[in-house]
Amino acid sequence: MIENVLFYTWFAFRFLFIGLLFVFLISGLDDLFVDLVYYFRHLYRFLFKRKMIQDITLEQLKEKPEQNAAIMIPAWDESDVIFRMLVNTETSLQYSNFHIFVGSYPNDEPTRLAVEKAREIHSNISVIVTPADGPTNKADCLNWILQGVRLFEKDNNVKFDFYVMHDAEDIIHPLSFKYYNFLIPRTHFIQIPVFPLNVNLGNLVTGVYMDEFAESHTKDMRVREVLASTLPSAGVGTALSAEAIQYLADKSKNQIFDIETLTEDYMMGLKLSTFKGKSIFLQMQVLPTDVARTEGGKKLSKEPLATREFFPTSFRMAVHQKARWILGISLQGWSYGWSKTFGENYFLFRDRKSVLTNLAVVLGYVVVLYSIIHSVIRYSTDLSLPPLIAANENFFLILKIVLLMFVWRVFNRIRSTWSIYGPLHGLMAFPRMFVGNVLNFFATCAAIGRFTKAKMSGEMPEWGKTDHAFPTEEQLRGYRHRLGDLLMEKNFITADQLEKAIELQKGTDKKLGDILIETGVLWEEDLNHALSLQSHRPDCEIDPFLTPSYLFRVVTEEISRKYMIFPLYIKKNVLILATDDFDIELLKEKIEDLLKMPVAFVWAATVDIEFAQKKIYVEGASAPPLASRLGTKLVEDGIITDEVLQEALRTQKRTEAKLGDILVEDGVVTEAVIKDVLKTLKRENKAAKKGASHA
């Protein structure tokens, strides 16, 4: 009796084992083909096209005039993250000609209020409220956002040249829009990589996302671009030209995003298969300039041009999110059908095979467990049980091939993760593969369950929104541009100047910015501006003569000098103060307690605050001196530029010299020109006083 049970169990597992071997063989050969295309492409480009391929430089990006960009962000129940995301985008994006459109719902007042709060600070933000209460689904929200964009264009007589899709938790790369602007309209669809934010090694669930996106968005998407004519959108970091948007609108009666699917971004990308425009997966290692090496050959900076965001940290939430992806791509994706080209059909097959392989992998674990138990029974009892697969069978050869391909798969996963997140996470990618396989198994089961339930009821599957988080201030610091990069992006210094400063910094405890100032390469005001960009805090250069005089009775000289602050103006009953202290939380509490009114801070260079204090509290100046008006007149007459005036005024703060003398000494203007302009100013002043007396 026992032998019969063991035999039929052996027979069932042998049958399952052989079936799984063929599944793993076909899937492994599929993955191997993608790997070989990827590596051979790299080898070919290295051997034959290395000298022909040139990276896009920062100078090229700056030379092209900025096109008008629309950012579309769907938001349901995002009040915890949307304000910080919007402010971070506004302050970090190295692009100025854009408008953000946030889609919200009538029954989601907290999210709308958070967006309105951000709009009080930045006027280029609009809220598009859908007609129906939420949550509907992301596709529906995006369709209404697009209608709001069209209405905005009509009402404001503007036209957006390209559209960018993002989510409420995204950290948008500061240079991404410069690249979109450079490539559009020659390219009509651009997808950049999406990488999860780095987490500690113990966070296995988010680590799975890191590994999967690292491999997919460094290798698989690149091969897909080569072999297929279209690319699926990742839903974030996707840019489309106005022509592509119009094509999709015409094709789908303005319903660009399919509300019948849970992965509208994926389907939207596939719909462009009949569009003649070019689609690319933009994989760039961003360098600050085309000269990026020190004398020792060490690169100054190198990072992927990518969108970063948090992904689920709990197993339950990860299953919830992945089930939506599998349902939309692998199950609902069948409604898209097949294409007319081999390349597209091949990748559609890869998208859809995951339903089978996700289940097969965990069934493989069950077979391995049975094999262990089976071996124990064989060698510890007298029962006659054959092995699942004998060494002389052809199936054993297939098993060896599958195991070799598994080792190759592990190598590729480690290599991909290592390239993005470093060696520790790279090595952790191997044990995380087992966590990921179990996670994908449960997500696939959940997806099949939701899909079956929807089919039986005739209703749409539930959207299944994932809770989002946005990085804290401290976490954001790791993803901001380095100071040297920012200084070069703003043209405050050159790559050569940065290299020399780095050399001088070696062996000292001095900060890079201090060295640049000491060597006369950088103004303190420019360093202040770069640091404020890096920390996402507003800054200013103080003009002490624009401060209303009554504020000097509120902020006395004693208070100003003790706390190193200077009053600027009052906005909405809040006193705006300049400070050179970055740690403003404690300072804010002290000042508000002292002045009995709310205050806010902007960051200013120490030299700016000291100059303002001297002019107002020591010299008692209350109106702009003649030198200040001289500079304005010289700019108005086109004799000097704003930049030249700014340089001269900065010198004046430090030397107390007359503005005219500084400009003459610098060779910008002649002494005769200064005298002529001063005479003109005197005549204008007399005329103004005469007119005032008659009045």
Whether a cis peptide bond, with omega within 30° of 0, leads into 135 is yes
Domain count for the chain:
2
Contact 557, 613 (CB under 8 A): yes
Which of 578, 601, 623 delimits the end of a domain? 623
CA–CA distance, 217 with 417 (Å, rounded to integer): 11
Q: Say yes or no: 659 and 690 in one domain.
A: yes
Q: What is the pLDDT, as a whole number, of residue 466?
A: 63
Q: Is 619 found in the same domain as 630?
A: no
In the chain, which residues have pLDDT < 50? 288-300, 477-478, 625-628, 692, 694-695
Show Cβ contacts of residue 541 under 8 Å, excluding neighbours closer than 6 positions.
Answer: 525, 604, 605, 608, 646
Q: 449 lies in a domain?
A: no
Q: Give me the pLDDT at residue 4, please.
A: 79
3-state SS, residue 104? strand
Q: 111 — phi, psi (to 5°)?
A: -65, -45
Angle at CA 694, nearest 5°, toward 689 and 695? 95
Q: Write down which residue in 608, 623, 638 finishes a domain.
A: 623
In a domain, 542, yes or no: yes
Q: Give the whole-angstrom CA distance, residue 506 versus residue 484.
A: 15
* 552 and 611 co-located in one domain: yes
Does a structural domain hold residue 193? no
Torsion of CA 493, 494, 499, 502, to 10 degrees: 10
C-alpha span between 400 and 28 (Å, rounded): 12
Asked if 446 contacts 319 with a C-beta cutoff of 8 angstroms, the reply is yes
pLDDT at 536 (0 to 100)? 64
Is 664 part of a structural domain of the chain?
Answer: yes
pLDDT at residue 293 in the model: 36
Q: Are residues 549 and 614 in the same domain?
A: yes
Helix axes 109-121, 82-92, angle to 10 degrees: 20
Position 288 scores a pLDDT of 41
Note whether 568 and 630 are same-domain residues.
no
Contact (CB, 8 A) for 242 and 163: yes
Q: Last residue of some domain: 623, 647, 665?
A: 623
Instruction: Report in angstroms the alpha-carbon separations of 538 from 308, 335, 513, 561, 601.
Output: 23, 50, 19, 21, 8
The residue range of the domain holding 677 is: 626-694
The answer to whether residues 348 and 330 touch, using CB atoms and an 8 Å cutoff, is: no
Q: Which pLDDT score is estimated for 476?
A: 52
Q: Are 231 and 279 in contact (CB under 8 A)?
A: yes
311 CB burial (10 A radius; 0-12, 13-18, 19+): buried
Question: Is the CA virtual torsion 51, 52, 56, 61 positive or negative?
Answer: positive
Q: Which residues contact residue 85 at a Cβ distance below 8 angstroms, ignoring those fewer than 6 apart?
A: 73, 168, 169, 170, 171, 470
11: burial class by Cβ within 10 Å (0-12, 13-18, 19+)? exposed
Looking at the fold, whether 606 and 647 belong to one and the same domain comes out as no
Q: At what angle do helices 626-636 and 642-655 cross, to 10 degrees?
A: 160
The verdict on residue 223 lying in a domain is: no
Radius of gyration of the chain from its Cα atoms, rounded to whole angstroms = 32
124 phi and psi angles, rounded to 5 deg = -90, 45
Q: 129 and 212 in contact (C-beta within 8 Å)?
A: no
* Assigned domain for 296 exists: no
| CATH of residue 578 | 3.30.300.160
> Are 638 and 683 found together in one domain?
yes
Residues 597, 616 within the same domain: yes
Q: How far is CA 1 from CA 7, 86, 379, 382, in A?
A: 10, 70, 20, 15
Tokens at residue 554, please?
């509120």
One domain for residues 616 and 631: no
Count of helices and strands (H, E) across the chain: 27, 14
Q: Are residues 606 and 630 in the same domain?
A: no
266 Cβ contact list (under 8 Å, min separation 6): 232, 233, 235, 328, 329, 333
Nearest to 330 by CA among 445, 213, 205: 445
Distance CA 601, CA 170 (A): 26
Write down the pLDDT at residue 300: 47
Q: Which tokens in the block code for residue 44?
A: 């070919």
Considering the domain architecture, whether residues 644 and 688 belong to the same structural domain is answered as yes
Describe the strand order of the beta sheet including 599-603 as a list of residue ranges.
565-571, 574-579, 599-603
Q: Does residue 680 sit in the same domain as residue 616?
A: no
